[in-house]
């Protein structure tokens, strides 16, 4: 029997964590609770959760600092950020530090559970091209050479740059996979949002811009002058044609 997935809930409000953990358990998850940023970092190592629900405002270490630390130590661990205000700045800050999604307080526990399931599904399932055993470009195989120095491994769910693994978040990987599935084709922000986040995803299409910038910082030699992920002004983005297609 497959073990239930474990969710680490990080918040210093007992009333909120009681409600969240109750609803997560009712949905079939196991839960662990941390009351501070430092305790959260310790429990990530001890409990090895499948996803972290992380409040922005925490004692000792704030949620942004915790999220940055988690991204350095565990790049593939999904994070859902809780923000206290319906503020675009809070949402952007959460995404800037690597959160995969955000929920604004006050929120419906049912909505939070739906977000958790959606993020876990995106983090755990291979894309359609990988499920068919095809490369992202439609060719056979599961490894795609994006540039001579950069290889996308669909089966292994990783990217290697000059032979070294690149730490991408689940959302970043799915966004790159979406772009690589349509090399040379301009995709709108809405298309990329649906491809990478899923048809049932919540959120703002502008979050695509934040994650594209993160990808460029990790993959491009000169992120401010990208040569791999190109901007289509006023529309969206495209991946430059794959090496075998150029010429």
The DSSP result for 32-49, as a single string, is EEESSHHHHHHHHHHH--
Report the percent of the chain where pLDDT is more than 70: 83
Tens digit of pLDDT for each residue in 111-129? Answer: 899 989 988 887 764 433 3
Domain shared by 51 and 132, yes or no: no
Does the pLDDT at position 140 exceed 50?
no
Residue 1 in domain: no
Q: How far apart are CA 94 and CA 80, in angstroms?
A: 9
Domain shared by 31 and 118, yes or no: yes
Residue 11 in domain: yes
Model pTM greater than 0.85? no
The DSSP result for 109-156, as a single string, is HHHHHHHHHHHHHHHHSPPHHHHTTB-TTSSBSSEEEEETTEEEETTT
Please tell me the least confidently modeled range out of 1-5, 9-13, 99-103: 1-5
Domain shared by 133 and 102, yes or no: no
Domain shared by 108 and 10, yes or no: yes
Does the pLDDT at position 138 exceed 90?
no
Q: What is the pLDDT of residue 156?
A: 84
Q: How far apart are CA 56 and CA 212, in angstroms?
A: 23
Domain shared by 89 and 60, yes or no: yes
Q: Give me the number of domains the chain comprises.
A: 2
pLDDT band at 205 (very low <50, low <70, confident <90, very high): confident
pLDDT band at 18 (very low <50, low <70, confident <90, very high): very high
Contact of 227 with 236, CB cutoff 8 Å: no
Domain shared by 170 and 215, yes or no: yes
pLDDT band at 159 (very low <50, low <70, confident <90, very high): very high
Domain shared by 49 and 33, yes or no: yes
Query: If you average pLDDT over residues 57-80, what whole number do you get?
Result: 90
Domain shared by 157 and 85, yes or no: no
Domain shared by 133 and 241, yes or no: yes
Residue 216 in domain: yes
Domain shared by 175 and 240, yes or no: yes
Domain shared by 159 and 106, yes or no: no
Domain shared by 88 and 138, yes or no: no
Strands 79-83 and 101-104: parallel
Q: What is the pLDDT of residue 224?
A: 92
Tens digit of pLDDT for each residue in 80-99? Answer: 998 866 566 666 666 777 78
Tens digit of pLDDT for each residue in 22-38? Answer: 999 999 999 999 999 99
Does the pLDDT at position 108 exceed 50?
yes
* Listed ranges 96-105, 139-148, 193-202, 214-223; the one with the highest mean pLDDT: 214-223
Which domain range does residue 40 map to?
A: 6-124
Tens digit of pLDDT for each residue in 50-59? Answer: 999 999 889 8
Does the pLDDT at position 167 exceed 90?
no
| DSSP-based three-state secondary structure for 6 | strand
Q: The domain spanning residue 133 has which CATH number?
A: 1.10.10.10
Does the pLDDT at position 137 exceed 70?
no
């Amino acid at each position: 029997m497959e073990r239930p997935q474990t969710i680490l809930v990080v918040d210093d409000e007992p009333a909120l964590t009681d409600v969240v953990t109750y609803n997560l358990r009712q949905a079939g998850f196991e839960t662990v609770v941390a009351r501070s940023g430092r305790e959260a970092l310790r429990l990530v190592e001890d409990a090895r959760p499948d996803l972290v629900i992380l409040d922005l405002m925490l004692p000792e270490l704030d949620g942004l600092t915790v999220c940055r630390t988690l991204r350095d130590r565990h790049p593939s661990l999904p994070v859902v950020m809780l923000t206290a205000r319906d503020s675009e700045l809070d949402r952007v800050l959460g995404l800037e530090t690597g959160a995969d999604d955000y929920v604004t307080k006050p929120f419906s526990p049912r909505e939070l559970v739906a977000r958790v399931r959606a993020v876990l599904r995106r983090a755990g399932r291979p894309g359609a091209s990988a499920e068919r055993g095809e490369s992202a470009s439609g060719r056979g195989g599961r490894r795609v050479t994006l540039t001579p120095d950069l290889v996308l491994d669909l089966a292994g769910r990783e990217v290697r740059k000059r032979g070294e693994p690149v730490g991408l978040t689940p959302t970043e990987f799915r966004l790159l996979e979406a772009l690589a599935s349509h090399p040379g084709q301009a995709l709108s922000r809405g298309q990329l949002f649906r491809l990478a986040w899923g048809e049932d995803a919540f959120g703002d299409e502008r979050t695509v811009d934040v994650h594209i910038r993160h990808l460029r910082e990790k993959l491009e030699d000169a992120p401010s002058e990208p040569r791999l992920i190109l901007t289509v002004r006023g529309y969206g983005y495209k991946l430059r044609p794959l090496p075998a297609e150029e010429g």
